[in-house]
Structure 1
Amino acid sequence: MRHSHLICFLFLFFSPLLKAQPLPGLSSSNYGGLYRVLQNPSAAAGSRYRYHLIPAAGISTVNPTLFRYFNSNDYFGQLRLPYSDQLARDLRGIGSVTNAPATNGWSELIGPSVLVSLGRAHAIAVHTRIRSYLTGSSLPEPLTNAYRRGLYSRVLQPAEGSFDFNLANESYAEAGLTYGLQVFNGELHRLRIGGTLRRIVAAQRRTLTAAGQYAIQTNAGTNEKTLSIQNAAFMSQSSVPRQGFRLSGDDLGTGWAYDLGATYEIGYQTSDRRNRSAAGLDDLRPAYILRLSAALLNNGQIDYRSGTSQSGSFSQDFNQDELDRFGNAPLEYLASRSNSTGQYLAETVNLPRTMHLEADLRLSPAFYVNALRVQNLGGREVYPSQLIITPRFEDEDSEIALPVSFIGPDNRVAVGLSARLGPIAVGMSDLNHFFNRSAENRSTVFWLGISAWKLQSVKN
């Protein structure tokens, strides 16, 4: 679709900051390795792995239409936007993990990363990521349908009203170093702590605010409708943009961040310690009764250099051809209506902090029930607070979990699926998108990764 660029432009400012997004099931698993370390650095200590390597893994919010049309442009769309001059993105992939009026979506690419255990008491991990996220308010549903389906769609009904939204997109690359320490390893309880220091580079930030009135009207004698935008005012700001796929430069944003975590286990550490009478038993599966953990994530800030700002106003009647022209070059379209161009002043932006509180109950040697509370700690809410209840089955080589999430202030329920089979990890946070065709504006968190590992020996 030619007017897909329109939504790409809007989504460029819609996607939220990805702040330590949990992967339900995988991030709570005892065999989660680096996936768990990225959510709680204390998980590095006492890991089941001698080493755990992730060559590549991806996390992205996607709209259900991705699975209906198998449009690869939708996956990692936010991640590619800062590097795209054409802003090419299919409009059907826009959505949000939260209900209106909020908009939340993100992408993250985990690059080559490794966790190494130094015995049972110490561990270090080195990890790299590229992240892009966006937060803000959403457009009214009639406007969303006009962009997604086009003005010829029979589903699109006449409507009128006002719109007032604000959006922010941030993207950056980072490299992190994690250290985990097992402070105490008793017969029936253990305490582990950990910390991560992250260096942020190649940061870019864009914001957009717009307000006005709209009307969708039926044209006599034709199926096409007219979209009328009246008294629309806008202002956009952008820090210095990246040129190509570069991760360094004095004109790009930089910063530092850190994560802290602690884990306390009650019960035996492994099944062979619980059953010492069985000579030669090498069962290293966890045997704790309860695991409690807490993590404070994304503490830090990014310093942005100066950039540019534009503001303007316009009124315009759009037929499908005009909507396509806007969608094919939205930046140029708005720039032609800008009556004020200025400098975007340098600023320091705090990262949105979150706290993870977790309880993991072991019901049998391979079956667990996990409760995870993700809580925003003030400031910008780029990822919604939520409660995730996850029953899971796990062993060394395979795992399956069914996370049930209660998302945002309205406790929207999402039932997901997470699986690990050998080196492949895959999952999504909301299976509803396979069955509910009316949920086109809602997104699911989808992840896919590969890894290699070597388990700890009985001696260790």
Structure 2
Amino acid sequence: MKTLSAPGLLVVSLLFSALLGAQPFPGLSFDNYAGVHGLLLNPANAAANNVGFELHLGSVNAGLANDYIGLPSYSDLLDEEDIYAADLTRTPAADNFRSSHLNVLGPSLLMGLGQSAGLGLVTRVRNFYEVRNLDGRLTEGQDDGFGRLDDFSGTYQDFNTNSHGWAEVAVVLGAVLVNRKEFQLKGGAAVKVLRGLGGYHAGSPSLEVAYDGGSGELITGGEVADVLAGDYSYGELDLDALSEKLGTGVGFDLGLSLEWRPGGVPADRLRTPYRLKVGASVVDLGAVTYEEARVSTYPVGGRVSTDLLEGRSLAYVLEDNYDGTSRREAADFRLPTALYLHLDYRLAGGLFLSALSASALNADPLLAGNRITNAITVAPRLETKWLSLYAPARFGGPEGTSLGAGLRLGFVTIGSATLLSHLFTDTNYAADVYAGVKIPFYRRLRAKEVKEIVE
């Protein structure tokens, strides 16, 4: 069996997990030389950009975040013994959050179609995991044993957990819709063919849980519905599922981008003449449909020994301890549909300041599928043809503020949305990294075009 896995994610999957990125490849996707990476933010970026042709060889973006447990250093994340030996700060609450993502951008390309259009072909494999509105004391008991905990009880509204992996091939088309002396309007769209790799969903509108230390039992009440598609295992992608046709679907991205070009803006021989660029995009519309999913409903009123919970996944706990009903039927796993509102302001020369607002559009927590966390990202950027430096700062989301840094140097890109946070603060609730390799061929403006821009 061929698999893709992230060792650091596997080690800590029962403790915490990574944030569903509010921006793919944070900082880099704003770059006017981002090429294929810019298409993930807005398909309109395919048109009239600095890249005449780009062959993207491969890149990976992975991370973890939560609001329950403070993360150790980056080196400790990859060492199981160091993680469990570390004195980690814990903040259990009735509505703790944790999630993870692994985003593998495969061989892809972007090419210009004349001066006013562009075409992209993007391949990607993605894996997301999230748990929302679950008491952190349950996680603590599962990891360290319930015997060390005091009695507790709570009613958790809209508890849900979602895990899903899928592959996609996208065709992206962007075009200049309006081109005037002082502004340019671009539009773009992407159509994605989706292939599901499996998923798991469980949710309850109201889940009651009480821990009785005297008897060593959990007393539970309510009803939990879950959906299992394929032989899914968190943290591990089974690439053999690509040939099994477990699930299929179609997805879409739509976007607009407006550039303001006042006459006083300096322009060089490359395509960065704007003072302000404003964009809006809706990405990841659609779902993967699994024709043979197992759909179950479990009334969970009763008492369960905590010895039967430690180290067990929710799916096994439900199946082994409660009498439910199951059936085979088609089930949809929604993509993490998001609305991006973004702007990029040119301060002077190659110095830019960008901002991004990310909002989840699939808000129903009881439907299968992932969703991003709402957040705002601000990123100053120094941009040249072969070198860009950026420092994204992310605000909002349960895990709090994070500061990162990134670098594009020729054919190589590397960065993290949390690097500076880990360097300058002791307790962090998120960690991520991305890196990639590409072969770009940048496009130059003709002398006549430069004159038209600055006059």
d(CA) in 2 for partners of 1:450, 1:180: 23
- Structure-2 residue corresponding to 1:263: 257
- Structure-2 residue corresponding to 1:391: 380
1:57 aligns with 2:59: yes
- Compared CA separation, residues 424 and 113, structure 1 to 2 (3 A): same
- Structure-1 residue corresponding to 2:78: 71
1:241 to 231, 241, 247: 231
1:161 aligns with 2:153: yes
Deviation, 1:327, is 2.0
d(CA) in 1 for partners of 2:374, 2:35: 24
Aligned residues: 413
- Structure-1 residue corresponding to 2:4: none
Query: In structure 2, what residue type is equivalent to 1:65?
Result: P
Query: In structure 1, what residue type is equivalent to 2:350?
Result: A
Is the CA contact (8 Å cut-off) linking 1:304 and 1:348 kept in structure 2? yes
Q: Give the 5 Å matches for 1:81-230.
A: 100-148=95-143, 150-151=144-145, 158-162=150-154, 164=156, 165-209=159-203, 211-215=207-211, 228-230=217-219
d(CA) in 1 for partners of 2:279, 2:133: 35
Is the CA contact (8 Å cut-off) linking 2:22 and 2:375 kept in structure 1? no
- Any gaps of 5 or more consecutive residues in structure 2? 1-8, 66-70, 366-370, 450-455
- Compared CA separation, residues 248 and 412, structure 1 to 2 (3 A): closer
d(CA) in 2 for partners of 1:99, 1:172: 31
d(CA) in 2 for partners of 1:283, 1:216: 72
Q: Give the 5 Å matches for 1:333-352.
A: 334-352=318-336
- Compared CA separation, residues 90 and 60, structure 1 to 2 (3 A): farther
- Structure-2 residue corresponding to 1:420: 408
Deviation, 1:35, is 1.0
Is the CA contact (8 Å cut-off) linking 1:20 and 1:298 kept in structure 2? no
1:44 aligns with 2:46: yes
Provide the alpha-carbon RMSD of the alignment.
4.1
d(CA) in 2 for partners of 1:179, 1:158: 58
Is the CA contact (8 Å cut-off) linking 1:9 and 1:330 kept in structure 2? no
d(CA) in 2 for partners of 1:52, 1:350: 30
Is the CA contact (8 Å cut-off) linking 2:27 and 2:392 kept in structure 1? yes
- Structure-1 residue corresponding to 2:357: 373
Is the CA contact (8 Å cut-off) linking 2:197 and 2:242 kept in structure 1? no
Deviation, 1:195, is 1.0
Cα displacement string for residues 423-449 of structure 1 (whole angstroms, at most 9, x for unaligned residues): 22222223434554444xx22443222
- Structure-2 residue corresponding to 1:400: 389
The secondary structure found in structure 2 opposite 1:336 is helix
The secondary structure found in structure 1 opposite 2:199 is strand
- Compared CA separation, residues 57 and 235, structure 1 to 2 (3 A): same
- Compared CA separation, residues 161 and 411, structure 1 to 2 (3 A): closer
d(CA) in 2 for partners of 1:6, 1:329: 15
Cα displacement string for residues 31-65 of structure 1 (whole angstroms, at most 9, x for unaligned residues): 11111111101111112112222211112232533
1:24 aligns with 2:26: yes
The secondary structure found in structure 1 opposite 2:363 is coil
d(CA) in 2 for partners of 1:432, 1:216: 39
d(CA) in 1 for partners of 2:85, 2:373: 24
Deviation, 1:244, is 4.3
- Compared CA separation, residues 345 and 27, structure 1 to 2 (3 A): same
- Compared CA separation, residues 367 and 137, structure 1 to 2 (3 A): same
Deviation, 1:203, is 4.6
Cα displacement string for residues 119-173 of structure 1 (whole angstroms, at most 9, x for unaligned residues): 322211101111122344243233333445x2499xx653522464321222211
Query: In structure 2, what residue type is equivalent to 1:238?
Result: L
- Structure-1 residue corresponding to 2:285: 299
- Compared CA separation, residues 20 and 126, structure 1 to 2 (3 A): farther
**TM-score, length of structure 2 as denominator length:** 0.76
Q: Give the 5 Å matches for 1:270-289.
A: 274=266, 283-284=269-270, 286-289=272-275
- Compared CA separation, residues 235 and 158, structure 1 to 2 (3 A): same
Cα displacement string for residues 347-389 of structure 1 (whole angstroms, at most 9, x for unaligned residues): 3455443221122111111111112122233534711222222
Q: What is the identity percentage for the equivalent residue pairs of Structure 1 and Structure 2? A: 20
